[in-house]
Structure 1
Amino acid sequence: MSKDVLETAFKTIEVAREDRIGIVTLNRPNQLNAISRGMIREIVTAFEAFDEDPSVRIILLKGNGRAFAAGADIHEMANEGAVDFELKNQFADWDRLLAVKTPVVAAVHGFVLGGGFELALTADMIVAAESTQFGFPEVKLGVMPGAGGTQRITKQLGRSKAFRWLWTGDSFSATQAERDGLISVVVPDELVVEEAFTWANRLAGGAPIALRLIKEAVNAGVDLSIAEGMFAERKNFSLLFATEDQKEGMRAFQEKRSPRFQGR
C-alpha cells in the first residue's frame, strides 16, 4: 500500500519513505501551509496508506517553508454558512485521523496556529523548534476551533488553562507549550527535523504491536474512568502475549542481546 501512496500525485503534500518511517510533508509554503479541505483529505489518505503497511513503523509529519501550518484556509471558508459546513461534512476527514494506529511524530516550526495546531495535536509526539509560536486565534475572527482544538487542550490542560489559550487567541512560545504539557520536546530551530527523525528511528526499532496497543490504551484512558482505563490496559497487556515479538523480547532479555522485533 505504501508503494501506491508514494506514486500518488498529491497537490498539497509530499510523501516519502525512509526505511521504516513514512514521511508526510505539508507543502503549501506560499500559504504558510494553510490547511484546506483538499490538504486534510490528502494527509488522511497518506496516513491511512502508511497505517495499512506493516513495514511502516512510524509516521513523521512536518511542513515545508516558514511555518508548519499557520491555520485553516480562511479564503476557503470566509463566505460559507452553516448549511455549507453541514453539507460538505468537512470534519469527517479529520475524524479519520483518530483511527490511525501507527505512532505519529510531528516536527513543528514557525507558526502552529488554529487548524495547524489542531493537526499537530493529532500527533502522539510533538518535537518543536524553540522559536515556534502556538495558538488558537480563531476567536479573533469571531469563530472557534472546530477540528478538536477545544476538546484536546481541555483534556490535556484542564478548563482554566484551556480558556486562557482559547479565549485570548494569543500566541504562546514553545517553552510555554512544553510547560503546559502540549508538546513533547523543544530543540534549537536548526535541529527540529533531525530530532524528530531521531525519535522516529528510535521508536521504529521498538515492538510495533506493543507501540500501537500502548497508543490505543493511552488514548482510551483520556475518556475513561480509571477502572475502565485499567481494563483497557490489561486487555492489551494480555493480547501482547499472543505475539511473536513478546517471545522475542523476553528471550532477548534472558540472552542479554538486543531484540529483533518483526511486528508479529
Structure 2
Amino acid sequence: MTVPLWPELRDAARRVDELVAVLPEPGARLPEQRTEIAAAKDTARALRTRYLRTHADAVYDHLTRGRAGELRIAELVAAAAAEFPALLPTAGQLAADRGRRQADKEGYEIDQGVFLRAVLGSPRSGPHLLDAMLRPTPRALRLLPEFTRTGVLRTTSVRMERRDGTAYLTMCRDDCLNAEDEQQVDDMETAVDLALLDPEVRVGVVRGGTMSHPRYRGRRVFSAGINLKSLHSGEISLVGFLLRRELGYLHKLVRGVRTTDAPWHSPTVQKPWIAAVETFAIGGGTQLLLVFDHVLAASDAYLSLPAAREGIVPGAGNFRLGRHTGPRISRQVILQGRRIRATDPDARLLIDEVVEPERIDEAVAGAVERLRGPAVVPNRRMLVGAEEPVEEFRRYMAEFALQQALRLYGEDVIRKVSRFAGRGA
C-alpha cells in the first residue's frame, strides 16, 4: 500500500467494528447503545474527513493506477474498500446491511459519502471520475449490435424503439407509476447509452407509458419519482441509485457519452432530447425534465419536487431548478412543496409547450422535426457549457454525495418512508 492510513483512523474504525459485533441489531438497540455507537462512528468519520482532505488524490491515483484506468463509482468504492478497509465499508459489511430495512441499517453508506465527497471535490480526481461515469456501460455495449440491427430494446422498466432516426424511450413500470428504483436506473442508463451510440439516432424522446395502477389505469404517467417503498425496504442505495442516476444517465443526457467513436473535435457524442409529460412528473420526474432540450406537457399535467416532505435532497434539482425559474420559485417548489400545473404562468419557465392531451403525439412530432437540424448539436453543446459548467456541477455533486448519504439515515426520513410505505403508489 503506497498511501498509509493513520493509526488513529485504524483504531477508530476498529472501535466501531467492535461495537457492531457486540451490540444488538440497529433496530433493537437501547437509546444509550445508540448514543455510544453514534459517538464512535462520528469520531471515525471526522478522522476520515481529515485524512481525505490531504490524501484523497493519492488514494484515487493508487486505485486508478495514476488515473491510467477508469473506474465507475461502484467499482471505485469497492476497490477502495478492499485496499483501505478502515476508510470505507467492506463488501461483507455492505452485504449485511443490504438485506435490512432502511431503519435497521448501520449506515455504512455515510462513509462512502465521506469518501466520494473528497474525490469529487478534488479538482484533480473529480473530473477524472466524472469522465469515467460518461463511458457507456458494459451492458449497453453488449446490447448495441442487436439494437443497431433491430432498433428495439425491451427491459423491465424501459421500452425503446428507433423510428425514422428518432429513439422513442418509454418508461413502462405500469404497476408503480414509473416510480424509480435501481432496476429503473440501470435500464434508463442502458437505453440512453444505446440511443447516443446508435449512429442512426438523431433525436431522443422520453415519455411515460400507459399505467395499470388502479387510480390511473389506461392513462400515461411520466414519473412518480423515487420509489418510497423501495427506500423503506432498504433497496435504494447511495451508490447504485442516487449517485449513479445523477452521474450516469442524467449526466449523459446533458453531456453525451464518451466513446472512441466520438468525432475528433469532441470527447462525447451528444444528441438533443425531448420529454413529453402526461398526468404528472413528481420528484425525480421533475428533476429529469431539467436536463431536456424541449419539454412539452399535456394541459392537465403538473410538476412537483416534494423533497422537504420526503426528507431527502432532490438530486441535482437544487443545482438546476433555480437556473430555470430563479431562486424564489425554486425555494417554493423544493422547500415548501409547491406544485406547478402545466397551465400556470410560472410553468413556462419549465415547460416549452403545453397542448391538450389528445395533441401530444402531434406536438412530439413537431418537436422532433425542429431538433433534427445539423446545427442543433453544436449549438446545444455551447448552451450546455454556458448554462451548466462542468466544474460547478462537480462541486455540487461532491457535497451532494455526503448530504444525501446523511439524509438517507435521518430519523425523520426513516419515519416518513415507513408511513409512505403503507400506502399505494
TM class by smaller structure: 0.7 to 0.9
1:28 aligned counterpart, secondary structure: coil
Q: Deviation of residue 90 (structure 1)?
A: 3.6
Distance 2:361 2:228 in 1: 28
In the superposition, the TM-score normalised over structure 1's length comes to: 0.75
Q: Which residue number corresponds to residue 195 of structure 2?
A: 50
Q: Shift of residue 68 of structure 1?
A: 0.7
Give the residue type in structure 1 aligned to 2:240.
K
Determine whether 1:72 maps to 2:72: no
Deviations 1:36-79 (A, max 9, x none): 22112211211111111222110011011231111111111124
CA contact (8 A) 1:111 1:133 kept: yes
Superposed counterparts of 1:203-214, under 5 Å: 203-204=371-372, 206-207=373-374, 210-214=375-379
Distance 1:49 1:74, change over 3 A: same
Q: Cα offset for 1:194? A: 2.3
Counterpart residue number, 1:138: 307
Matched, 1:129 2:298: yes
Query: Which residue number corresponds to residue 141 of structure 2?
Result: none
Matches within 5 A, 1:22-101: 22-65=167-210, 66=219, 67-80=221-234, 85-88=237-240, 90-96=242-248, 97-98=250-251, 99-100=255-256, 101=270
CA distance in 1 between partners of 2:303 and 2:238 (Å): 28
Query: Residues of 1 paired with 2:347 and 2:299: CA distance?
Result: 13
Q: Match of 1:199?
A: 367
Higher helix share: 2
Query: Which residue does the alignment assign to 1:182?
Result: 350
| Higher Rg | 2
The 1-side partners of 2:240 and 2:151 are apart by 28
Following the alignment from structure 1 to structure 2, what is the Cα–Cα distance between the partners of residues 78 and 183?
Answer: 32
The structure that is strand-richer by fraction is 1
1:130 deviates by: 0.5
Q: CA deviation at 1:150?
A: 1.2
Aligned to 1:255: none
User: 1:106-155: CA deviations, max 9, x gaps?
Assistant: 11110111011112222211010011010011211222312x11111112
Counterpart for residue 323 of structure 2: 155
Q: Does 1:216 align with 2:381?
A: yes
> Contact (CA 8 Å) 2:276, 2:295: kept in 1 or not?
yes
SS of corresponding position for 1:23? strand
* AA of the residue aligned to 1:68: F
Partner amino acid, structure 1, of 2:159: E
Structure 1, gaps ≥5 residues long: 225-264
2:331 and 2:150 mapped to 1: Cα distance?
39
CA distance in 2, matches of 1:106, 1:69: 11
Matched residue type, 1:197: A
Q: Does 1:21 align with 2:166?
A: yes
Structure 2 CA distance for aligned equivalents of residues 167 and 202 of structure 1 = 36
Q: Is the 8 A contact 1:5 1:46 kept in 2?
A: no
Normalised by the length of structure 2, the TM-score is 0.48
Change (3 A) 1:184 1:145: same
CA distance in 2, matches of 1:88, 1:200: 32
Contact 1:125–1:184 at 8 Å: present in 2 too?
yes
Q: Are positions 1:110 and 2:110 aligned together?
A: no
- Percent identical: 24
* Residues 44 and 87 (structure 1), Cα distance of their counterparts in 2 relative to 1, 3 Å cut: closer
1:74–1:34: structure 2 CA closer, same or farther, 3 Å change rule?
Answer: same
Question: Which ranges of structure 2 fall in alignment gaps of 5 or more residues?
Answer: 1-143, 211-218, 257-269, 390-425
